[in-house]
Homo-oligomer: A and B are copies of this chain.
């Protein structure tokens, strides 16, 4: 099963096809030797900046979630994009 299948599976029941949606997921699996603090909490603003170069983003329409479990951290951004009808 590819990540593509997994994301489609996740979104299948929540899709509102009139909305443009963007999801960014960064997962970091650290080795046991790595005692450095995780950098994922610092990434989300820069990721939004990169995407903003290519599409309009309403910063109030961004949901950020960060989860940690053992050596595994996941940063998830869910962004509802303005519909193309709203763009000039």
Known contacts being A23-B27, A24-B26, A76-B3, is A32 close to B17, with CB within 8 Å?
yes
Chain B positions within 8 Å of A18 at CB level: 31-32
Q: How many residues of A contact B (CB 8 A)?
A: 50
Given contacts A32-B17, A84-B36, A85-B33, contact A27 B7 (CB under 8 A): yes
The answer on a CB contact under 8 Å between B17 and A72 is no
Contact A31 B17 (CB under 8 A): yes
Find the residue from A4, A17, A35, A50 having the highest chain B CB count within 10 A.
A4
A84 to B34, CA, bound (A): 6
Cβ of B50 and Cβ of A3 under 8 Å apart?
no
